[in-house]
């Protein structure tokens, strides 16, 4: 290694180390310990069992996750993260009516969360409730100025109109 390379290595090391030390720690998502516990159960079922087609085991963990998210909501009904987590578990269980109910609540609590409207529309589409799905996507369009997002939402609406 020549002198220039050695200097480069040292500088790179210093840069990397200093960047690492000053980087802020990321805050934990969600404030509720029930949410965290529920997510742990969900991840166990969804990432450890479901990819191996062990659906019974996965579902056991989903039920435990649901219990925790319910507890989180019992403490604070306005906990959007808990509603979103619950919606996700129900979606994994293909319980689309329950999933839709929870995503609907997320849109009420977080009206700017456009992906929640789309997830809600997807759940409605599984239930053949196309009118309500379109209605949610129209609402989503009012929450963004991004032309790309609006174009994509219009594309979704078009697909639903063709399906109904």
Q: Work out whether 122 is an interface residue with other proteins (CB under 8 A).
A: yes
Q: Work out whether 145 is an interface residue with other proteins (CB under 8 A).
A: no
Q: Helix H segments across 44-164?
A: 55-75, 80-92, 96-109, 114-126, 130-141, 147-163
Cα–Cα distances (Å) from 2 to 8, 9, 10, 21, 47, in that order, read 10, 11, 12, 29, 48
For the window 39-68, what string marks contact with other proteins as x by the rule CB under 8 A? Answer: --------xx-xxxx---------------
Q: Work out whether 86 is an interface residue with other proteins (CB under 8 A).
A: no
Q: Minimal distance in Å, beta carbon 33 to other proteins? A: 15
Contacts of 81 (CB under 8 A, 6+ apart): 29, 30, 31, 32, 35, 72
| Residue (50 or 71) nearer to other proteins, CB | 50
| Residue (1 or 56) nearer to other proteins, CB | 1
Binding part of the chain for other proteins, among 32-40, 67-75, 118-126 by CB under 8 A, reads: 118-126
């Amino acid at each position: 290694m020549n002198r220039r390379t050695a200097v480069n290595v040292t500088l790179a090391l210093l840069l990397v180390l200093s960047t690492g030390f000053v980087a802020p720690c990321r805050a934990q998502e969600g404030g509720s310990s029930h949410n965290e516990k529920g997510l742990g159960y969900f991840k166990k079922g969804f990432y450890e069992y479901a990819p191996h087609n062990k659906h019974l085991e996965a579902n056991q963990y989903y039920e435990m996750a649901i219990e925790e998210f319910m507890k989180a909501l019992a403490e604070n009904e306005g906990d959007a993260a808990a509603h979103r987590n619950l919606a996700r578990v129900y979606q994994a269980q293909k319980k689309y009516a329950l999933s839709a109910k929870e995503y609907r609540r997320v849109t009420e609590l977080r009206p700017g969360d456009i992906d929640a409207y789309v997830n809600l529309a997807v759940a409605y589409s599984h239930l053949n409730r196309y009118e309500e799905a379109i209605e949610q996507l129209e609402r989503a369009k009012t929450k963004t100025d991004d032309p790309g997002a609006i174009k994509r939402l219009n594309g979704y609406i078009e697909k639903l109109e063709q399906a109904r």
